[in-house]
Structure 1
Amino acid sequence: MAAVSDAPALAPLSPDPPGDRESTADSERIRRLMARFIGGGYVAYFAVTAPEILSQAGYVALWWTPVALITTYLPGWLLIPAGYFSDLRTIARLAALCGAGYAISVGLWFVAWSGVHVPGDRATFLVLFPGLASLALVLTRWPLLSIGHLAIAASTVMVANDRGRSQHFESAIAPEIVWAIAFSGVFVGAAIMAVRTGDLLDQSRAYAYTLAAQAAAEQARGIERERYDWLVHDRVLAIMRAARRSGVDERLSAKARQALAEFETETEAPDRPTSLSVSELFALLRTAAAVVDDTVPVTTRNSCTGPAPELPAAAGHALGEATGEALRNSRNHAGREATIGVLVDIGESSVAVTIADNGRGFDPALVPQQRIGIAVSIHRRMQRAGGAAEILSAPGAGTQVRLQWPK
């Protein structure tokens, strides 16, 4: 069989994919949104405190103001691009730097203060946002640390503010500390609950996927039981009844050997074809692709020097169903502008199907094992048919799903 057309262009893959893939997990979406929100808060507070930063610079050592600007604001500003482009580990590190940077700046203020009182109600601009740094800590692996950070940071900055401001603004320090903790604590508590809710949703989804995978496995076992029931009823019992009536002869021995062979190879029921030709497989793959998107090209490449091989019907249907699942994943996740193609390689005794797109891509190592589309509908389906599946992808480098029979 001659090649129908050239192979579709396959997306190049990066050997070292950078960063994590963009996940649809609820917890990740919440953390990314919060990172951008907190980063915006740092930008807004800088705009508000800029005049005070300049006016208060003369009351502290010259080195403190630039150090405080870097340690306090820079990690918060970086949260904005990180919320769009970085992985969760980077976001967590920046969030931890926000909390640590604010604490360092407050602590160094006591060292840098000149002892001269600021003629106003605020001796340091840091007193305006103690809760923002604590809010950032919600994005780390230990979100409850934000509560302790808020209590310590708010108390310390209020003491610093009380020491450095003019004596005309004397007030009870304890109520100010309680008010600062209570006011910011509302937002910190809400953020903790939001992150916790996302984690619970992910856990619930993973549990549902596990149950679905178990149900799929049970369904597969049911199909196997039905297949063996057919073999037992129409082969074993029939041969035993014939042997009881007429005794054992060569024909019954041949039928018994055939039944044993069918048990070993798990032959399908006689009302379904036991094998597929290459042309039938190609038609099956075209149909599977057309169900998802009839614009996806399906091309073939034949390297056979002799007659094209036939393959078991179970393997052919597994290739078709896995191809359909891979195409659905590409159409749903690759992006609207992505180009998708299917290439069928016909070898002397093997068949390989490659589904490729040049879309967004992802990191396969980060896909949970219980995800049905990949684990059950592609990998396990091909394994049960005696084949194998391989997924090659990287963020921004497209995706290739390679189905091979036999393994």
Structure 2
Amino acid sequence: MSVELPLWRALTGYRLLTLGYALTLFFLNYREYAHPAGAALYMGVLTLWTLLTWNRVTSAERCTKSFLIADLSIAIAGILLTAVLDTGERIAAGSATLPSIWAGGAVLGMAIKGGWRWAAVGSTIVAVANLAERGAAARDTVHNVVLVWVSSIAVGYIVEVARASERTLARALQIEAATRERERLARDIHDSVLQVLAMVQRRGAALGGEAAELGRMAGEQEIALRTLVAGGLVPPQRSAEQLAEDAELVGAVRTAPAPPAGPCDVRALLAPHAGATVTLSAPGTAVLLEAAAAAELAAAVSAALDNVAKHAGQDAQAWILLEDEPGEVIVTVRDDGPGIPEGRLADAEREGRMGVALSIRGRLRDLGGTAELVSVPGQGTEVELRVPKDRRGSEDTR
């Protein structure tokens, strides 16, 4: 809901309440006016105008500039007519004008519609009319004039700040949605296209001849695609050894079984990873998780194992531990490789190598979970993935 809507509703109530207040003052002092019939005629016009136009101040679209001018004109006319229809003694004593505080509603309408500048213009016109009606700058009149002037400008300024905040929030939500979609596409690219290009580059370099040229082109496209995935940043120049390292085969793209509709057993998705170098430890009973979340979790585990094969070597041992907790599913992937040097992950992200940032952490973040990576040089690496079973609470929190 727009922050302006409560202000328009409050203004509608203000106009109706202040109309009742002005009518009460008029009836209590009816016989004291110099021209009671003229005063009654104006109050009748003011009542009809307020009742017939009450819905014009319920939204910014209905409250047009022409309506605000007409509304302010009726308020100014009532203030100036007070000098003609009331007695000089009552005016000198500081009696209320015919519209009384109803005139403030016209100024507040200009403040909400046009901001503090419109409020300053409207309140200044009302102030001049009040001083002209009184004929002197009496203390109570000046006090009321300053109060209307300051309050209306403050309301107008608050409205402008609220509008700017709404625009900033809308822009931030658009950027967040675009960023999430970009990260999702980047994960898919990293898990498929980049690995295939790396395989073509490595195999082409090994075969030589025309295949080597094809491999070189595949390597160039891989670098360009990594740059795009990383956000369009130009990567630093790298040596031939670094390019060869980038082009190492991560492994054939693992194809996990398609998750069925409804709850899915995470054990079935992790079972294909078990082998001579990968040990899977799981509960004896089914570990159920929403199908889409289970598939994303399995993809994150696959990305972690790809990193083991790439950085620890094809012969490195890895262990997968699946735990079924009451509120979440925990998967731990540990290896006995050399570990990750300090600062290497940050350097990889700057160079466009987004495996950990997107394929692992990005996936878990979108699931409302967490991915913690602990690595000690010479002692291997451990990745702990946590996915909540009830994702609705996580999505509401985000």
Provide the TM-score with structure 1 as the length reference: 0.44
